[in-house]
Chains A and B, each alone.
Chain A
C-alpha cells in the first residue's frame, strides 16, 4: 500500500510552501482584506510563472500536464497561506468544467489563458439563498442568450469569463439545466461587488441581459457536468481547508507556547492543551479523508462521489473547528483586527458555504452511501 504522496509531489509541496511564504505573507493577504486591491495580482502572475495555475491542465492546452495529485498538494499550500487570489474559481471549478465538457476549441481558447494567468474564470451557479440544486437555477437560456441574475458569484468582479448554469427546460428534472460560457468582457452583463464574510475572496452579483453565451457540453447535460465539477472541487477545496486547519492549529500552538499567564506558559494548562489536541484530531481526520478523495480524483474512481463528500465534510468541520479555537487560544488578542486569527476564521466559514453548505454535503454523503450499500 502506498497511500501517500510521492517524493516528487512532496517536493512540489515544499516548493509551493516556500514560494507562498515569500510571495504571500500575511501582509499581502491584509492588503486585499483592507480593500487596497481586489486580489493579489503579483501573486497571481507568480503562480502562473511557477506553473501552478496549469499544473493539472494537459500540455496540449498550455498546462504542465502533471495531474490532480500535484494540484492537491498546491491547494494545501494555498489554504495554508490564505492566498487572496481566484484560484479555486478559476482552477478547481472552471478549468475542471472545461476539461470535463469543453469542446476542443473551447479548451484551446480558455485553458492556455488560465495556465498563463491571463484569464480568470468563475462559476456562476447560485441565485440567492439555497444550495446546489437544479430547482434553484432560474436564469433562462434561450436562442443563445441568457437572462437572469446570479449571486453570490465568487471572484465575479474580477473574472474575465464565466461558466453559467442556466435553465433550458421545465420538466422538473436534472435535464432542464445546461451550461454556458460567457465572455464577461463582451457586454450584456452588469457586475456588482458584494460585501462578504471573507473580503480576501470577493463575491459579486452578475446580471445577464440578453447576454450572448456559448453552450458548454451538450444541452441538458448541465447538471450532470456540474455534479462532477463540484465533486472534483470538493476534494481540491478540502486540501485548502486542510492547509488552513494546520496553519490555524500551528498559530494556536505557537501562541500557547509563547504566552505567559499565572506565571507559566498557557500551553501548560490542560484546558488549553486539550483544546489544541482536539484541533489536531480534527485536522488529522480531515487530512486522511482528503487523501482518499485525492486518490479517487486522480484515478477517476467510481468511489469519487462518496470520497469527495466525505473529504468536504471532514475538511469543512476541521477548518471551522481549528479557526475558531485558534481565536480562543489567543484570547482577547485573537479578537483584534491586528492578529491574523480572524483571516482564517473568515476563510474557514466562507469556504464552508462556497460549494454548498455542510448540511448539503452531509445529505449528499448519506445518499451516496445508501446507493453504494444498495448496489
Chain B
C-alpha cells in the first residue's frame, strides 16, 4: 500500500508537469485558485474565450482529450495517465469546464456510433476546443424519467424533422453542436422508440433561451426545436436504439473519475477557525467541532475512495461502483454546511452582499446553489436507486409503463 507512481507513471507526470509549467496561462492562476465551489468567473475575461485558448494550446501539445485515440485528436493515453494529467493540470482544469460535456459524453458517443467521416470531422475539432458540444437529453416532462421524453423526430426522405423542447442544457448558448435524443416511434414502449442524433446548434428552428435559476444565475437553458432538419447521416446508432446509445454516453461520464467535487469542508474549516463567537472561537466550541469532524471524515472518505479507484485504474482494472457515492455525499454536505455556517453567523447570516460578517456571502451563495448539486446529473434518489440496484443487487422498481406503448402512457395524475 503506497501512494507512489510506478516509474512509468512518474515519467509521464514529469513530462506533463514540465509542459504545464511552460505553457499554462499563469496570469489567471490567482483568480482560478480563488474561485472554488464550482463558480468560475474571471474579472476581465470571458471564461469560454480563455478556456478555448487553453484547450487549443493543449491540443497543439497533444494534451487534449488525452485518453482519445491519436487519429481523433487525443493522445492514446491510458486511464491512469488521464488521471495524472488532471492532477497536474490542477486549477487550470477549471478552464476546461465548457468542454467537459463534449469530452466526457458527446465525444465518446460519436466515437462509438458515428460514421468515420463524422469522427474525423468533429472529434479533433472538439478536442481542440474549436467546437463546443452540449447534451440535449432532459425535458420538462422527462427529468429522472428521461426515457419518457416527448421531442419528436420524423423521417422525411433522407432527413429527420425535429419538434419539441429540451431543458437544463448547460452551455447551449455557446455550443456549436448538440447530442440529441428524440422519439422516433410513439407506438412502441418508451425505451424502444428513441433515436440519437447530433445537430448543428445554428440550424434554422433551434432557439436557445436561458433559464433564470433559483439562485439568480443563468447557467442552464431551454432549447426549442421547430421543424429543425437533421440529415440522416447525423444519426448515431440504429433507429429505435437511442436508449442504449444514451447508456453508453452516461457510462462514459461515470468512468471519468479523479475529478474532485467541492465539499465545502476547507471553506468551513477556515471559517470556523476565524469566527469569534461570544465565548471564543467557533472552532473551540464542542458542538461546532463535532459537526466539523463529521464533515471532515466524509470529505476525506471521498478523497480516499477516489484514490482506491485510481489504484484500480493503475492496475488496469475497471474502477468499482463505489465512485457513484461522490455526488450523493458532497451535494448534501454542501447544503448542510451552508446552513450551519449561516446559523453561526446569526442575524447577519441573512445578508448576501460583500459584508464582512458573512465572509462575502460565500455560504449564502452555497446555500442557494447547493440544491442543484442534489438534482443535476442524477438526483439523490436516482443515485440511491443506482447503488441499491447495481451495487447491492436489489430489485429494480416496478415500472408500470414499461411495456405500454408510449402514446398510451397517462401524462397527468388526474
Chain A residues within CB distance 8 Å of chain B: 1-6, 69, 249, 253, 256-257, 264-265, 267-268, 270, 272-274, 276-278, 280-281, 284-286, 288-289, 291-292, 294-295, 298-299, 309-310, 313-314, 317, 359, 361-363, 365-366, 369-370, 373
Q: Is the CB of A286 within 8 A of B301?
A: yes
Q: Is the CB of A289 within 8 A of B297?
A: yes
Indicate which residue in B300, B325, B381, B396 contacts A310 across the interface (CB closer than 8 Å): B300
Indicate which residue in A277, A285, A291, A369 contacts B387 across the interface (CB closer than 8 Å): A277
Q: Is the CB of A365 within 8 A of B395?
A: no
Q: Is the CB of A273 within 8 A of B384?
A: yes
Across the interface, which residues of A come within 8 angstroms of B396, CB to CB? 268
Q: Is the CB of B289 within 8 A of A273?
A: no
Q: Is the CB of A1 within 8 A of B385?
A: no
Indicate which residue in B9, B300, B393 contacts A253 across the interface (CB closer than 8 Å): B393
Indicate which residue in B314, B385, B395 contacts A2 across the interface (CB closer than 8 Å): B314
Across the interface, which residues of A come within 8 angstroms of B136, CB to CB? none
Q: Cβ of B126 < 8 Å from any Cβ of A? A: no
Cβ-closest chain A residue relative to B317: A4
Smallest distance from the beta carbon of A90 to chain B beta carbons, Å? 25
Q: Is the CB of A273 within 8 A of B293?
A: no
Q: Could you write out 23 A-B pairs with CB less than 8 Å apart? A: A1-B311, A4-B1, A256-B394, A267-B394, A273-B392, A276-B388, A277-B384, A278-B384, A280-B325, A281-B329, A285-B301, A288-B300, A288-B301, A288-B303, A288-B304, A288-B305, A288-B307, A291-B1, A292-B300, A359-B286, A362-B290, A362-B292, A365-B296
Cβ-closest chain B residue relative to A307: B300
Cβ-closest chain A residue relative to B392: A253
Indicate which residue in A3, A69, A272, A369 contacts B296 across the interface (CB closer than 8 Å): A369
Q: Is the CB of A6 within 8 A of B290?
A: no
Indicate which residue in B1, B385, B387 contacts A280 across the interface (CB closer than 8 Å): B387
Q: Is the CB of B394 within 8 A of A2?
A: no
How many pairs, one residue from A and one from B, have CB atoms within 8 Å of each other in the complex? 160
Going nearest first, the 7 A-B pairs with the smallest beta carbon separation are A285-B301, A362-B293, A273-B388, A288-B304, A277-B384, A277-B387, A268-B395
Q: Cβ of B2 < 8 Å from any Cβ of A? A: yes
Across the interface, which residues of B come within 8 angstroms of A359, CB to CB? 286, 290
Contact of A3 with B387 at beta-carbon distance under 8 Å, contacts A267-B395, A281-B329, A289-B297 already known: no
Give the complex CA separation of A280 and B390 in angstroms.
12
Across the interface, which residues of A come within 8 angstroms of B393, CB to CB? 253, 257
Q: Cβ of B17 < 8 Å from any Cβ of A? A: no
Q: Cβ of B269 < 8 Å from any Cβ of A? A: yes
Give the complex CA separation of A84 and B298 in angstroms.
30
Smallest distance from the beta carbon of B331 to chain A beta carbons, Å? 12
- For chain B, the bracket of interface size reads 35 or more
Give the complex CA separation of A298 and B1 in angstroms.
9
Give the complex CA separation of A363 and B381 in angstroms.
33
Q: Cβ of B401 < 8 Å from any Cβ of A? A: no
Chain B residues within CB distance 8 Å of chain A: 1-5, 9, 269, 273, 283, 286, 289-290, 292-294, 296-298, 300-305, 307-308, 310-312, 314-315, 322, 325, 328-329, 381, 383-385, 387-389, 391-398
Smallest distance from the beta carbon of A281 to chain B beta carbons, Å? 5
Contact of A270 with B1 at beta-carbon distance under 8 Å, contacts A288-B308, A291-B304, A369-B269 already known: no
Q: Is the CB of B305 within 8 A of A284?
A: yes
Give the complex CA separation of A114 and B256 in angstroms.
48
Beyond A3-B1, A267-B388, list 20 extra A-B contacts (CB 8 Å): A1-B314, A3-B2, A4-B311, A4-B312, A265-B394, A268-B394, A268-B398, A273-B388, A277-B388, A277-B392, A278-B384, A288-B304, A288-B308, A289-B300, A314-B297, A314-B300, A314-B301, A359-B290, A362-B293, A365-B293
Across the interface, which residues of A come within 8 angstroms of B294, CB to CB? 313, 317, 362
Give the complex CA separation of A273 and B307 in angstroms.
27
Cβ-closest chain A residue relative to B396: A268
Across the interface, which residues of B come within 8 angstroms of A270, CB to CB? 381, 384-385, 397
Across the interface, which residues of B come within 8 angstroms of A277, CB to CB? 383-385, 387-388, 391-392
Give the complex CA separation of A317 and B301 in angstroms.
12
